[in-house]
Chain A
Amino acid sequence: MNNATGLDIAGLETAYDQLAMAIDAAGPEKSELFLVKLALLAAQALGDAPAFVDLIERAQKDL
């Protein structure tokens, strides 16, 4: 991924806060479902299956 097209610090902080609050709002029963829905929407917005697979692999590190 090219950092030049990534989020600036303020944008990253917005994503961070909004995601945290949305996970809390979904609650323990539904947060996983919510995150999968979000991932699919993000994949669709990305519009690039190999890039999404790359993101999956990067997210799998150091769990």
Chain B
Amino acid sequence: MHQPASAPRRSIYYDYTVHQPWLPSQHPAQPLHPVVIAGGGPVGLTAALELARFGVPCVLLESEQQVCEGSRAIVFTRRSMEILQQVGVAERVTQNGLPWRFGNSFYRGQRVFRMEAPHDENDRFGPMINLQQQFLEQYLVEACQANPLIDLRWGNRVTAVAQHADHAQLQVDTPEGPYNLQAEWLVASDGARSAIRSLLDLKLEGASYEGRFVIADIRIDLPLPTERLAFFDPEWNPGNTVLLHREPLGIWRIDYQLPEGETPEQALSPESLKTRINAQLAMIGHADKPWEMDWSSVYSARTLTLPDYRVGRTLFMGDAAHLLPIFGVRGANTGFQDAQALAWRLALVCRGQTSAALLANYSAERVAAAWEIIEEAGKSTRFMTPPTRGFRLLRDAVLSLSLTEAFVRPLYHWRTSRPHEYSHSSLNCRVDDNAHFQVGPAHGAPPLNVRLTDSQFLLDHLGGGFDLLWFGAADGLPADVVASVAQRRAKGLPLKVTCITHGAAHAGLQPSPADAPWLQTLCDAQGRVHSRYGVTAPGAAYLLRPDQHICARWLHLDAQRLDAALVQATTGEAP
């Protein structure tokens, strides 16, 4: 019988709520559910909220009865915030998180590199924001609990999976014993040690290089700004790297590599932690400051992925699908993109809008993204934790040169997570005008945000389905395009039209006609949307997928061209 901890986890800054377990004896017999998500971490919760936006209900199984232990993922990127905005929690993250954009690398007491993450005034969110994962999970849980389409079941652990042609059969253990659950689709977001991955006997691929790091959170009053601090080859931990991050509520994260040959148990002993944290504080000139431990853990820097994220009726995302290194904040930030990429496709499949072939495209796009991340992260990893004698020699040579030679300093740059561009996706239109645009987001690219007014941005008004951005006034929309949109909507395709108009009257969202809820007009008073999207003449258009990546763009649009793009984007095939 599954017995999750029923006492609140210990924390000096976070007040855990223990939720009541979902017990089968208190509920009627279970029907066949369209979607069961296993794993109520940030990725699973985000996917549930996205599915609900498309009207698709789901059962969300979480094996514990409370949010995660310790701060875990603490850095969220701009793209993650844009995704969290879509599911309604970005504002709470903004209110409670600590934004930052500078990273500093130190060697022998000298700052040898300073990274500045770019921030455009057209972006609503900063490049990075720090918040403990417990808070983010709490915000997502509260959003899920407020949504009647999401059946969140605490204390429910998947213990067996049988895959059939048209459904998956699960055995779920609870504090009163097991019950059976059937789902047309099972989504595995049960983390790095995914039970479902093991139950289906699936193997991760890639080079498993294991650099091990201690992660420790302490409460301490340090007079330092919110910036990333990286210390290379410190005297107290020769040859290794130490990272320092500020978290809300006076908490600081210290990451340091384990000396070779040391076990996690040795590294996590209170005496070892105390000695090393004191040594690090002494190195930055704060040996006198009192501090208190909140949580510590050992993390392995691994780079592995499943070769296919669709296995029968099971779909993988987040750490259950891939293990990515800590450098570059790629874990949760990649997971949000997985959740967003999967949810709209799964919703269209569940709603009968398209065939399950679209789920193979989810796997193709996201496996390619994982490999790209692994390749890019590998460069950072080889610098942070050199895997061989050769790499260590070169890294040490660069550290030494960096004190006097500027040309090597960019090698300290820690490539941070960025959204993947699906430039070669089969969902991109083959017969549009993509190649004729001089600027603007091209095929497969994530959207560019644009400031419309002091408080309104373009992406505030998009999402929840396909978005057709039409550059021109609503009364200039070709009649055949309007008819085609109406026809698609009548068949259930989530599709909205946003007219981007010039004119100085009132910037931003204009009052909508009551008889056309699928149509909105945004006044681009300063012409920023036009210039960011490379539009010089009226009549141009962009088609954004429900995850807002661009799948078609035209200098001139007619119904036939729109139909071709929508068929391609929902089937991966030309009409």
Across the interface, do A36 and B397 meet the contact criterion of CB distance under 8 Å?
Answer: yes
A-B pairs, 8 with minimum CB distance: A36-B397, A37-B397, A36-B393, A44-B407, A37-B401, A33-B396, A40-B397, A37-B400
Across the interface, do A33 and B400 meet the contact criterion of CB distance under 8 Å?
Answer: yes
* Binding site secondary structure of chain B: helix
Contact with A along B381-399 (1 / 0, CB 8 A): 0000000000001101110
A33 vs B396: C-alpha distance when bound (angstroms): 7
A10 CB to nearest B CB, Å: 28
Across the interface, do A40 and B398 meet the contact criterion of CB distance under 8 Å?
Answer: yes
Q: Which A residues lie within 8 Å of B394 (CB)? A: 36, 40
**A22 an interface residue at 8 Å Cβ cutoff?**
no
A13 CB to nearest B CB, Å: 26
Across the interface, do A33 and B407 meet the contact criterion of CB distance under 8 Å?
Answer: no
Using A36-B393, A36-B394 as known contacts, say yes or no to A41 and B401 having CB atoms under 8 A apart.
yes
Across the interface, do B393 and A32 meet the contact criterion of CB distance under 8 Å?
Answer: yes
Residue ID in chain B nearest A45 by CB atoms: B407
A36 vs B396: C-alpha distance when bound (angstroms): 9
How many residues of chain B are within 8 Å of chain A by beta carbon?
10
A35 vs B408: C-alpha distance when bound (angstroms): 16
Contact with B along A14-46 (1 / 0, CB 8 A): 000000000000000000110011011100100
A33-B396, A36-B393, A37-B400 known; 7 new pairs, CB 8 Å cut-off, are A33-B400, A36-B394, A36-B396, A36-B397, A37-B401, A41-B401, A44-B405
* Binding site secondary structure of chain A: helix
A11 CB to nearest B CB, Å: 23
Q: Which A residues lie within 8 Å of B398 (CB)? A: 40
Q: Which B residues lie within 8 Å of A44 (CB)? A: 405, 407
Residue ID in chain A nearest B394 by CB atoms: A36
Across the interface, do A33 and B393 meet the contact criterion of CB distance under 8 Å?
Answer: yes
A35 vs B501: C-alpha distance when bound (angstroms): 62
Q: Which B residues lie within 8 Å of A32 (CB)? A: 393
Residue ID in chain A nearest B408 by CB atoms: A40
A33 CB to nearest B CB, Å: 6
A8 vs B398: C-alpha distance when bound (angstroms): 31
- Our pick among B397, B405, B408 for the contact of A33 (Cβ within 8 Å) is B397
B379 CB to nearest A CB, Å: 15
A33 vs B408: C-alpha distance when bound (angstroms): 15
A44 vs B212: C-alpha distance when bound (angstroms): 33
